[in-house]
Amino acid sequence: MIAFIGSVFSPYYFKGRRRGRDEPRDYCSLNVCLYGKARRWTMTERRQRGLTQSPSHLQIGPSALHWGADRTLTVEIDEIGTPIPQRVRGEIKVTPTFINEQVFELDQAGRHRWRPIAPSARVEVSLERPAISWTGHAYLDRNWGDEPLEDAFRYWDWSRASLGGDESLILYHADRREGDRLSLGLHFGADGGLSHFEAPQDHRLARTPIWRMPRSSQADAQHPPRVVKTLEDTPFYSRSVIASHLQGRPIEAVHESLSLDRFRSAWVQQLLPYRMPRR
C-alpha cells in the first residue's frame, strides 16, 4: 500500500509538469495491492479538492490515514479496483516496534530523501471487501523529493528482509543519472539500533515473465539470489519475493525494481492510464 501526494508514477503528473501544471496536490492516490485468490489493485488519482492533510491525518478521496495517540497508523480504505472494478474496503492498522528518525539522501544534491520510519512493525488487516483478515509483520517508510524521480535516476532496486523477531536488513541500490551509484546496506536491531554494512556484489535476477523488466539484487558472492515469486510485473516496475543470502545467513526478502528510463518512454506513458484512472 502506497499513499501518494504528487504521484511519481502518474502519467497525468508527467504530462502536467511539461505543461506547467505541476501542483503535486492535484495528483494524489492510494495504491492498494492484494495478492493471492482475492487479488485486487487500486490506484485512482484525485485532484486537490479530494485531499485533506494535517500533521496526523491524510485524506485522499474516500480513503484516509491517521496516526493515533498510541503510535498506531490506521488506514481506512474505500477504493475501486482497476482495470476490473472491484471494491476494496476495510481497515489496516500498523504499529511500529520502534520509530527511526534518520533520513537518507539518495542523490548527491539532496533533492531525494528516504526515511524507513518503521523498519519493523505489526500489522492488523481487516477487510470487508474482499472479506479477508490477517495479522503479521510489516514495514513502513517514506520517500519525498524536489524534482521528478526520472530526472535523477536511471534505475533502482530495493529489498527488505526480516531476520526473525524484530531485526531487519534493508538494501538500497540506485544508478544515478550523474553517473555514480548509491549503495546502502542497513541493519536494524530489535531495539532500533542502526548499523551500516557494505552491500555485497550485485547479481542479476531473472527478468519478469510478461514485461521483461530487468531485476537485480545484492547478495553474498557464493550465494546468488533467486526469484521465489513475482507479485507485480509492469512495463517499468516489479515487486517480487526473493530468496537471498546476506551477512552469512539465508534470507527471504520483499524486492522492488524500478526502471525510470522505461517509465519516461512514450510507449509506457500511453499504457499507464489503463491502470491509473483519474477522477
- Asked whether residue 62 is domain-assigned, the answer is yes
Residue 279 included in any domain? no
198 domain residue, yes or no: yes
Please state the domain count of the chain.
Answer: 1
Can you give the pLDDT at residue 173?
A: 97
Cα distances from 269 to residues 136, 173, 222, 233, 260, in angstroms, run 36, 25, 39, 16, 12
Return the percentage of the chain with pLDDT > 70, whole number. 100
Band of residue 93 on the pLDDT scale cut at 50, 70, 90 = very high
H/E element, 100: none
Per-residue pLDDT reduced to its tens digit, 106-119: 999 999 999 999 99
- Residue 212 backbone dihedrals phi, psi, to 5 degrees: 55, 40
Single-letter residue type at 5: I
Closest CA to 155 of 259, 262, 264: 259
Mapped onto helix, strand or coil, the DSSP state of residue 18 is helix
Q: Give the pLDDT confidence score for residue 164 in this predicted structure.
A: 84
Residues 6+ apart with CB under 8 A from 34: 40, 41, 88, 130, 132
The pLDDT value recorded for residue 238 is: 98
- The answer to whether residues 3 and 32 touch, using CB atoms and an 8 Å cutoff, is no
Instruction: Write the DSSP symbol of residue 219.
Output: -
pTM: 0.95
Report yes or no on 89 lying in a domain: yes
Rounded Cα–Cα distance for residues 181 and 166 (Å): 29
State yes or no: pLDDT of 193 exceeds 90.
yes
| DSSP-assigned beta bridge partners for residue 235 | none
Q: Is the pLDDT of residue 90 over 90?
A: yes
| pLDDT score, position 167 | 95
The identity of residue 147, as a single letter, is E
Percent of the chain with pLDDT over 90: 96
- Range of the structural domain that residue 170 is part of: 2-274
39-85 confidence digits (pLDDT tens):
999 999 999 999 999 999 999 999 999 999 999 999 999 999 998 89
Q: Would you state the pLDDT for residue 83?
A: 87
